[in-house]
């Protein structure tokens, strides 16, 4: 019996377009004799639909398209299609209004609807906001043309993730996988929309293999692919046979239709196509960010991007990502030197643009700096030049970039990294401007690592998205950008380390604060200077107002700034510095 | 037996400061012979603490301060204090890591800890993200000096709000109020942090009165007060006697300590002080916004505010609110005329500032407009002046305001209203700049209504926060601002209605889309032109990227932009326009 994994890239909210994608996959699958098509979680509306789910018209439209799809599906093909369904007993039982469901379509009709049981409500996930949990194990019988039957257990994304034995602790009271296996199924399918985080695919495969071994039941895991705002779905759908062997792995970061064979006699999956995993974390992150930019642009209706090129490493990396995502001819880099810009900055930016094949414009900002000063002279009389004047330079550049974006319909990409977003070493309404913050979940040290990887790939002549392979193969990020001390160049001789700890120190402290939720006392106990730690905690807390107004941040770690980071502003979270000190000192 | 309602204004995260506030209230209450002090939900950390709750050090610090508070409380006084507590069986039972709890402190120790049972997870609330529900009804016995005992039922905020009879439907499976009453209590306390929404206090009192009548049990409801980022807590704590009579109402929009008498023989509350409700919705909204600005500024460490004064109605209202919140001498209005500014705009802004007693600066932007044009001339050659050039004017002003804010440490207030935020009739990085969006939850028609109310109050010589009462009493918003057609003045002769439907039409369509979740088809069926409705839906959908980067919006309606509005950007929510049309047309 043939199964197909439809690793789809839906646009959130585009129900008609997503239904058409499912139908096209179904038609291709039917031509190959497939009996059952598997699509990702909420495949009709795309994941995450967020507050679109609060609109009854949106729910009604999904059901309408589902019925249409049931009628249009090729004869002989069954399909599992994801949608949000009304919960009819919500008002009487005091439950949430919707279910996160998978509908089984066959013979022109909706044959069954299965409800997700475990609803993630942490990080970027808000499923308890909308959905009620399903109460019963989900399974059905599929009959082959020969009359043979296969019992299939249906789990939806998180349903697979409460494996107490794997994690060493439970995250939910029930284990839906164990429940469907106990019901006697031959095969478990897990239909997911699981966002990318660095290293996550290895974790997923370990988890799936562990579940297969524990339950002695093959599992087919289907993931969504594509960028939806801040979230990047990496695909890599996999099937694991009853023996715990990888029977199939779809490619990462691209749509795919993978055909699997399930043998009802052996009651197992046969070996099919297996695409490799990325060779290094940098390779994954690169592919994720390229896809994130590509899909954000496409789904918002942009074909071209613009960004400032400072000659620094952050804008260099963002420019390379944009060129790989959209094509170099679709990218405009804008050099905006001031009197504080070094010669090498301009030369480095120009060399980068040439390496990448992107066009550039140069707009000098000195005149604007002078005239802002003259407009503000009387008001600022007697004050020292400082942060206000430095920020003005950044904001002049931000305005010029937005003027270009508005004039030509380009998407402005912001170029800040996670380290500077964390401590507020960036200018709100200046260099933070943009529709998408491409590398704002990458700490500065990781920005360097990714650029070095990129240069190695380029020198080895490896393909890099839509970047042309250069002959002879050479680096793309000019070496000088990688070795010079980082500087915002907002005053003469300025370097980042005038204001911040060394980036390896800063990034480790930030990782402890942001990802590991360590208190300042714990970080000090790990060997860091108390004054440095307290400074970083103070900076991160005070920069919350900037982060609140940042563009969506492409997420590549398990704790990114954006919708999964919900911190108060008018607040004092620096106070937990004192958590391990004597009460009298608080 | 005397009870005290401590209607406190905590700063989120400032555990030591909040504990000190509780102790001061306890000491005052003890001097008046109070036996039990009631504080709001999460009174130790302030509500909402959001992701501060993910930090173990923060939870530990709360428990540490709770123990300190138990030791410091005056002898003979018991207190209910709110905090987040660890759930010890989280990892073994698959539960959330914390409880939203109230601790009963007495005799130097924590005597009992009660867990909130209904966890709101909708709109701005995310309690399922952090908390596990308590499973048992919460009550305890308080013994008087005479040896008499009173059984007290404890409910926390949402616990009161699942009254199926009152609402006509259930929101949760259980009713914690009914459960504590069934356990035989003499009195129910409800300890809340219930954010302000226009008209909400009347609803709360109806709900409480209904519960009292249904359960024949007096209820004391304690609310937090004060602004925390986007949320404004209005206070108005109340007590309702067994007879359904209002025994006490604390004042709105200010901290208070109200003393109540519970007679164990009558088993009822005696009548105490009853502060009046506001006379009109505008009076409520005014007080809410004034408090919101005051507390955001104070809790972020600002004493002064700055804003652009365009001569239009939005900035006029925001300036009045800021002057009432901080004092006119703490507010700077900046006039930034362009060649497109009308004479009357400058005159109106100046008159407004004079009426309010705020100082002004005038900075002409023509030179900067010319400079940007000249810097961009070559690049923009052959294009028509349009949105890019209009936005530049707004962004020049935004930069000047931020330069002033940065230079002098002022809080920049943004002045946009809800109608323009909805349809994107505002400039990102321009007039949207600011630390707080003061009136961005007020539709334009409500901005007019509030300004007219304000003028009536001023003319009647009524006090308006820190605004001086003028002798002779006259209007504060110049009449001409109220009667002229609204205009952004970004090109000659421009008025808002060149681009937008009339504001009464627009605001009604927006209310149907945003608050009532109506589909376009339903709005058309209500009598609106299909082209107008489709335009508004398209505009609101396309402006999502701007709203995502807006400052926190002071919330006064039940659906404000901000943390309670979670819409995708790279998406098509305009599609549900088609929900009621034939499938073929989709």
**Predicted confidence (pLDDT) per residue in A66-97, tens digit:** 999 999 999 999 999 999 999 999 999 999 99
Q: How many CB pairs under 8 A join A and B?
A: 332
Look at the block and give the residue holding tokens 């990688």. Answer: A482
All residues of chain B having their beta carbon less than 8 Å from the beta carbon of residue A548 are 551-552
The answer to whether the CB atoms of B395 and A399 lie below 8 A apart is: yes
All residues of chain B having their beta carbon less than 8 Å from the beta carbon of residue A169 are 91-92
For helices A366-380 and B387-408, angle between their N-to-C axes, nearest 10 degrees: 50
DSSP string, A503-522: HHHHHHHHHHHHTS---HHH
Residues 6+ apart with CB under 8 A from B246: B205, B238, B239, B240, B274
- How many residues would you count in chain A? 586
Residue of A nearest to B172 (CA): A94
**CATH 3.40.50.620 domain extents, chain A:** 283-496
Domain A283-496, CATH: 3.40.50.620
The answer to whether the CB atoms of A568 and B13 lie below 8 A apart is: yes
pLDDT tens for the 586 residues of chain B, in order: 999 999 999 999 999 999 999 999 999 999 999 999 999 999 999 999 999 999 999 999 999 999 999 999 999 999 999 999 999 999 999 999 999 999 999 999 999 999 999 999 999 999 999 999 999 999 999 998 888 899 999 999 999 999 999 999 999 999 999 999 999 999 999 999 999 999 999 999 999 999 999 999 999 999 999 999 999 999 999 999 999 999 999 999 999 999 999 998 899 999 999 999 999 999 999 999 999 999 999 999 999 999 999 999 999 999 999 999 999 999 999 999 999 998 899 999 999 999 999 999 999 999 999 999 999 999 999 999 999 999 999 999 999 999 999 999 999 999 999 999 999 999 999 999 999 999 999 999 999 999 999 999 999 999 999 998 888 889 999 999 999 999 888 888 888 888 899 999 999 999 999 999 999 999 999 999 999 999 999 999 999 999 999 999 999 999 999 999 999 999 976 545 444 443 333 3
- How many residues would you count in chain B? 586
All residues of chain B having their beta carbon less than 8 Å from the beta carbon of residue A128 are 121, 128-129
Question: What dihedral do alpha carbons A95, A100, A104, A105 form, nearest 10°?
Answer: 110
The alpha carbons of chain A give a radius of gyration, in whole angstroms, of 26
Contact B578, A64 (CB under 8 A): no
**How far is C-alpha B293 from the chain's CA centre?**
10
Asked if B157 is an active-site residue, the reply is: yes
Most distant CA pair in chain B, distance: 91
- Distance of residue B125 Cα from the nearest chain A Cα, in angstroms: 9
**CATH 3.40.50.620 domain extents, chain B:** 283-497
Choices 3.40.50.1010, 3.60.110.10, 3.40.50.300, 3.30.1490.20: CATH for B2-277: 3.60.110.10
Domain A2-274, CATH: 3.60.110.10
- Distance of residue A279 Cα from the nearest chain B Cα, in angstroms: 30
The tokens describing B51, both together, are 């992701």
Most distant CA pair in chain A, distance: 91
- Local structure of A286: helix, strand or coil: helix
Please give the model's pTM, rounded to 2 decimal places.
Answer: 0.96
Burial label for B291, CB within 10 Å (0-12, 13-18, 19+), is: buried
Task: Write out the catalytic residue numbers of A.
Answer: 41, 116, 157
| ipTM score | 0.95
**CATH 3.60.110.10 domain extents, chain B:** 2-277
Residue of B nearest to A513 (CA): B55
Nearest Cα residue to B292 out of B420, B496, B437: B437
Q: Which helix (H) or strand (E) holds B304?
A: none
The whole-angstrom separation of Cα B79 and Cα B113 is: 12
The whole-angstrom separation of Cα B329 and Cα A164 is: 62
The answer to whether the CB atoms of B368 and A364 lie below 8 A apart is: no
Catalytic residue among B85, B106, B116, B158: B116
Q: What is the pLDDT of residue A337?
A: 96
The whole-angstrom separation of Cα A83 and Cα A69 is: 12
**Integer angstrom CA distances of residue B570 from A227, A441, B316:** 9, 19, 35
Catalytic residue among B41, B282, B390, B489: B41
Residue A500: count of CB within 10 angstroms of its CB: 20
Residue of A nearest to B46 (CA): A571
All residues of chain B having their beta carbon less than 8 Å from the beta carbon of residue A11 are 570-572
- B283-497: CATH superfamily: HUPs (3.40.50.620)
């Amino acid at each position: 019996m043939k199964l197909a994994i439809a690793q789809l890239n839906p646009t959130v909210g585009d129900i008609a377009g997503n239904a058409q994608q499912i139908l096209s996959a179904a038609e291709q699958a039917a031509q190959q004799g497939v009996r059952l098509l598997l699509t990702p979680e909420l495949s009709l509306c795309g994941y995450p639909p967020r507050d679109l789910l609060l609109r009854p018209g949106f729910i009604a439209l999904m059901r309408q398209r589902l019925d249409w799809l049931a009628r249009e599906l090729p004869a002989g093909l069954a399909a599992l299609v994801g949608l949000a369904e009304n919960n009819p007993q919500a008002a009487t039982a005091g439950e949430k209004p919707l279910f996160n469901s998978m509908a089984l379509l066959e013979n022109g009709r909706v044959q069954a609807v299965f409800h997700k049981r475990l609803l993630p409500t942490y990080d970027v996930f808000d499923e308890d906001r909308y959905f009620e949990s399903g109460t019963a194990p989900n399974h059905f019988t599929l009959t082959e043309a020969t009359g043979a039957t296969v019992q299939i257990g249906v789990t939806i994304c998180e349903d697979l993730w409460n494996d107490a034995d794997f994690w060493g602790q439970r995250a939910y009271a029930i284990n839906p996988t164990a429940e469907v296996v106990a019901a006697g199924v031959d095969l478990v399918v897990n239909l997911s929309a699981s966002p990318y985080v660095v290293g996550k695919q290895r974790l997923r495969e370990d988890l799936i293999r562990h579940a297969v071994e524990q339950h002695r039941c093959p599992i087919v895991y289907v993931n969504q692919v594509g960028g939806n705002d801040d979230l990047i779905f990496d695909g890599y759908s996999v099937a694991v046979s009853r023996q715990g062997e990888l029977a199939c792995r779809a490619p990462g970061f691209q749509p795919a239709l993978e055909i699997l064979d399930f043998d009802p006699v052996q009651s197992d999956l046969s070996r099919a196509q297996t695409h490799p995993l990325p060779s290094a974390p940098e390779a994954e992150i690169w592919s994720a960010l390229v896809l994130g930019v590509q899909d954000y642009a496409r789904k918002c209706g942009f074909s071209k991007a613009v960004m400032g090129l400072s000659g620094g490493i952050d804008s260099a990396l963002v420019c390379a990502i944009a060129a790989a995502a959209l094509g170099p001819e679709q990218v405009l880099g804008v050099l905006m030197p001031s009197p504080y810009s070094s010669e090498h900055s301009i030369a480095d930016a120009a060399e980068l643009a040439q390496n990448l094949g992107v066009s550039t414009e140069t707009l000098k900002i000195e005149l604007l700096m002078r005239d802002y000063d003259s407009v503000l002279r009387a008001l600022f009389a007697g004050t020292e030049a400082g942060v206000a004047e430095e920020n003005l330079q950044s904001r002049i550049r931000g305005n010029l970039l937005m003027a270009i974006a508005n004039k030509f319909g380009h998407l402005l990409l912001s170029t800040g990294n996670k380290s500077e977003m964390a401590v507020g070493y960036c200018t709100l309404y200046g260099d933070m401007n943009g529709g998408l913050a491409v590398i704002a979940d990458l700490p500065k040290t990781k920005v360097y690592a990714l650029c070095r990887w990129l240069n190695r790939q380029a020198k080895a002549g490896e393909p890099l998205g839509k970047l042309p392979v250069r002959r002879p193969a050479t680096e793309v990020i000019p070496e000088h950008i990688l070795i010079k001390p980082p500087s915002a160049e907002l005053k003469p001789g300025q370097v980042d380390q005038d204001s911040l700890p060394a980036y390896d120190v800063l990034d480790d402290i930030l990782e402890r604060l942001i990802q590991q939720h360590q208190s300042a006392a714990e970080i000090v106990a790990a060997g860091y200077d108390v004054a440095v730690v307290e400074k970083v905690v103070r900076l991160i807390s005070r920069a919350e107002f900037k982060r609140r107004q940042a563009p969506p941040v492409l997420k590549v770690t398990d704790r990114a700034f954006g919708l999964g980071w919900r911190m108060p502003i008018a607040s004092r979270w620096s106070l937990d510095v004192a958590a391990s000190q004597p009460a009298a000192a608080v």
